[in-house]
Amino acid sequence: MTDFGLCVKTELLRQGMSQAELEKRVSEDTGLFVDSGYMYKILTGQRNPEKIVESVKKILGISACETHSTT
């Protein structure tokens, strides 16, 4: 898990939001398909799609999370 992934998971817990809800809201915000497998790849650094990462940050109200891949 990347620093960004940990930050997202922590913020999900803090806000009481499920990852599935985040995926749904990101899909609605971006118009792109986001499922649990794709979100997993983003949170673990296997993928780093700027539009989706920015949407996650906006939805969760986070700005300073590291988004670089660890692989």
- Residue 21 in any domain: the answer is yes
- pLDDT, one tens digit per residue, over 53-64 is 999 999 999 987
- Residue 67 in any domain: the answer is no
Cβ contacts of residue 34 below 8 Å, gap of 6+? 23, 26, 27, 52
* DSSP designation for 44: T
State residue 67's pLDDT score. 56
State residue 69's pLDDT score. 46
CA 62 to the chain's CA centroid? 10
- pLDDT, one tens digit per residue, over 11-52 is 999 999 999 999 999 999 999 999 999 999 999 999 999 999
- Residue 69 in any domain: the answer is no
- Residue 70 in any domain: the answer is no
- Residue 68 in any domain: the answer is no
Return the number of other C-beta atoms located less than 10 Å from residue 33's C-beta.
9
In the block, tokens 């997993």 appear at: 40
Overall number of domains in the chain: 1
- Residue 24 in any domain: the answer is yes
Model confidence band, residue 66 (pLDDT cutoffs 50, 70, 90): low
The answer on pLDDT for 71 being more than 80 is: no
- Residue 71 in any domain: the answer is no
What range does the domain containing 10 cover?
A: 3-60
- Residue 43 in any domain: the answer is yes
